[in-house]
Amino acid sequence: MQVKLTRSTPLTSHADWIDPCRIRKIKCDEARPGCQRCIGTGRKCDGYGDTDSVTKQTLIIRERPLITRALNHDLGVELSLHAFDYYRGHVSHQVGDTIDSDFWGDLVLRLAPTDAAIRHAISAISLMYAEKTKDTRDICPNYRPAILEYNKAILAVRSWPLATESRVKPLLVCLLFVCIEFMLGHEHQNAAKMHILQGRRLLANIKDRKTPETDIIRQYLAPIYLRVAYVGNDRVEVPRHLLQMTTAPLKFASLADARCVLYYLVDIGFTLIYKVKSCRSKGANEEVSDTEEHTLQSRYKHLTRELANWRHAFEAYLAFSDLDGLDTRTAKLLTQRHCLMIVFLDSMISGSDYVCDRNGLCDLSIATDCATFVVNYDNDNMQGPSFTFESEVVGPVYWIAAKCRQPLIRRRALGLLYEREKTNRVESLTMVRHTIAMATRVIEIEEEGLEISRGTKLIQDYPNKYEIISREESCEWAESFLTDQKEQWPVLWDLGSHCSDVPTKLARITAVREQKELAEGLARGWPRERLIWPYGITKERRVLSVVVKKHTADDLWLDKMSKLFQPLEVAGCYLKHRMVMAPLTRFRAEDNYVPTDMMKEYYTQRASVPGTLLISEGTQISERTLGIRNVPGIWSPAQIAAWREITDAVHAKGSYIWCQLWVLGRASNPTLRSELGLDILGPSPIASSPDHPLPREMSEAEIQEVIEDYRIAARNAIEAGFDGVEIQGGGGYLPDQFLQDVTNKRTDRWGGSIENRARFPLEVVKATAQEIGSSKVAMRLSPWSDFIGMGMDDPIPTFTYIVQQLRSLNIGFLDLIEARIRGNDDADCGGDNDVSFAVHAWGKEAPVMISGGFNGESAQKAVDETYKDYKLAIVFGRHWTSNPDLPFRIKAKIPLAKYDRSTFYTPKSSKGYDDWAFSDEFLASVATILTAK
């Protein structure tokens, strides 16, 4: 839009953000940094449009000669000129307050003409700031022009000489880059952290040669990210001016401002947790709309993204600030709050320790720092900040100790909290008070979904000192103490004071899913109140469960638990232990390949320990690939419906099940293939044994048909309720036959080189991944097996290649069979060889499974020692046929029942199939849970 002015009207200043045309005496309100000075509007007037570049630059130079001469030489584009103008006239007055005007409006502008990197950087900030201040609050602003300027700044820095005498310019560029990366968001966090570290090194190098310029830059590097953290017990009113801001400032004016926004964001997070929990509870009994679920997921992602965007806020503050000891402790406390908030949200909503790892609480540093603050804090000598230091720290640290899903962090936090050598005040009543307050708040959000109380008063009257000597004394004291304070803690009595009271619907649902932990408790002799913790008992008991002495807490929390019994995320399945049921062929399907009721009972029994992953028996993918009788299929509606009943029953137990897709190839039953009028097919005409018919070499068309059958079978498996599919790529079956040179002598693109021989199994994986997603696909391999005529002279190069290719496809997991297994028998197929080469080729970032005649002891050694740095799970086969509660038995060290090999392959017989007994200890634990409900 243009507005015509009279000659007497004075020209507007740059601060008004209207560029004048000297010839027509008009002004334009399109003069934002993205404006191209009307070049693209089609105007033909003097001063716009077709004016040659020399004239245009001359007009500009008259207005701002110094900076333009530099920009004209180094940048040469109107966008950069205009962005710098916008910075000089607007951003420099807005990005800081009055105190900062000497920095943004003087020092930065004074240094800009001397260096292209500085000019490009402030142009990028200007472009992003203008985009953020638009009336439309887009979630994804258009930062493309700013990124171009940012890249130019980086290139300019790379052109600097290796040695420079300037101390100010590098430090200023670090600051400007941090500002840019802050505004770009969480994807640039690593770059921001790198520049923060570089700035710290620069400051360290000039420590004895400070100048006014370096000092003011240091002061600005400190609070550049100050934003969010965790929450305490008090409610803080968020200042109106902070809530009404349309864009986040590059810094907060004070720690108080940062703390206010922190509380505001955390309360949003707690509300979101409540809504997600309510939605899940509702979903167990009635259908949740896709819109509702999508909205919650979007809000969750947006909140975690916002938290992640400020990941290094407090690290920057501590790195560059020149605060006194008090404010430094406060800032460090807020740093820990931020990390705790991330892990709290992820644990409550996703339940995934993998997510927590990704967000930065995978090591012990945060828990260590938090707990060290508690044990070293001297109440008499410290003038506390505006909020009570102890009340802010104790609750979150105890939350880590009692609630964290990562045992290493949990044990570390508890160990530091209870170190008597460092302090005698760890178990004072003041500590208990704040612990109870924090535990109450966590419980309200996590399990009952009650709205957080905004005005609950802390209890003020306690004895001076009380040593909690044992768990029993802790319960006795705290219960009587809370009973005397009912009026001040009314929420603790909402559900009554006895276990017999009817718990909430969510508590009942969750208790069923947690029966593994509860069942183990009975075997360990836990008192009854512990057996139904934390979902089936009243609030008083659950609050008290947080206040536990180290030497009386159960070793399920504190001892060095084997990783075999620790959680593991596998492609969206959150396993509560690392024992996986192998695919076991049992011949119990109908003659039409439909799963039977007996199979449903069999799988349901073996899913009874919640959080268990089952891999189904090999399942035939289509009629034309049939190779064996009474083995289930996955191609017909009847088969899909029968499998759906099985998967639903497994999921109802809180466990997971994947479908193994099986094509026998040359190992097919010749009688069955003959009855069906089908040839036995393989990659090459090489028989599996002297008494087995010679297979016919598959044509190109037949290969493509089988790949398509795999794709359809994967889709059917997901429709049947499976959590994913595993391709049987080992055992001497069709994919394995293509892969190994002993069975593949082809000379076309499907044989010969390693790459060609691996083509068929990889194409199968790609087809199924395209249909259902790569994370829902897995592959089983047996490098050393000589079953049914397999066994390469040197399998390592071939299998290393295919493992690396599978990893690049981002499949859900890799399943490897050790050399000591031949089919369903123990054997010595590989001598001293093992699958470690394949595990190393796969890497440490994704789950890998190994099977091979493991027992409880050897499985623990594998996960804790041999492959301790890998996300390893152990696959058990034959032992699971006779021990439906196998994970419970191994954890509780209950002897395993001996399997009956004679019943492995008896078609449609229940003997030795679904008639194996659960251990008495497991049955007793289930009875306890039902009684508690």
Q: What are phi and psi of 385, to 5 degrees?
A: -70, -170
- Using left for φ > 0, alpha for ψ between -120 and 50, and beta otherwise, residue 38 falls in left
CA distances from residue 775 to 572, 736, 770 in whole angstroms, order as listed: 8, 22, 10
- The answer to whether 125 touches 102, Cβ cutoff 8 Å, is no
CA distances from residue 313 to 140, 179, 224, 243 in whole angstroms, order as listed: 21, 11, 7, 19
CA atoms of 727 and 915, how far apart (whole Å): 29
Cα-to-chain-centroid distance, residue 460: 41
Q: Is the peptide bond before 534 cis (omega within 30 degrees of 0)?
A: yes
CA atoms of 803 and 839, how far apart (whole Å): 9
- Using left for φ > 0, alpha for ψ between -120 and 50, and beta otherwise, residue 823 falls in left
CA atoms of 812 and 806, how far apart (whole Å): 10
- Paired with 779 in beta bridges are 727, 814
Structure-token match 């945060």, residue found? 366
- The answer to whether 192 touches 312, Cβ cutoff 8 Å, is yes
Report, in this order, helix, strand and coil percent for the chain, each rounded to 5: 50, 5, 40
Structure-token match 């030497």, residue found? 551
CA atoms of 489 and 385, how far apart (whole Å): 27
CA atoms of 239 and 817, how far apart (whole Å): 62
* Cβ atoms within 10 Å, residue 168: 20
| Burial grade of 467 (CB within 10 A; 0-12, 13-18, 19 or more) | exposed
Q: Record the tokens describing residue 138, joined without a space.
A: 């887009």
- The answer to whether 786 touches 792, Cβ cutoff 8 Å, is no
- The answer to whether 581 touches 658, Cβ cutoff 8 Å, is no
* Cβ atoms within 10 Å, residue 389: 20
733 as an active site residue: the answer is: yes
CA atoms of 215 and 320, how far apart (whole Å): 10
Q: 196-230 burial string, b = 16+ CB within 10 Å, else e?
A: bebbbebbeebeeeeeebbebbbbbbbbbbbbbbb
The number of residues making up the chain comes to: 933
- The answer to whether 801 touches 755, Cβ cutoff 8 Å, is yes
Strand, helix or coil for residue 187: helix
Strand, helix or coil for residue 851: strand
Of 150, 733, 801, 870, catalytic: 733
CA atoms of 587 and 563, how far apart (whole Å): 34
Cα-to-chain-centroid distance, residue 902: 45
CA distances from residue 646 to 66, 128, 604, 649 in whole angstroms, order as listed: 78, 54, 7, 5
CA atoms of 724 and 718, how far apart (whole Å): 7
CA distances from residue 874 to 22, 471, 579, 703 in whole angstroms, order as listed: 79, 36, 5, 33
- The answer to whether 854 touches 874, Cβ cutoff 8 Å, is yes
- The answer to whether 838 touches 783, Cβ cutoff 8 Å, is yes
Strand, helix or coil for residue 677: coil
Closest C-alpha among 266, 150, 874, 313 to residue 565? 874
List residues with catalytic annotation.
Answer: 733
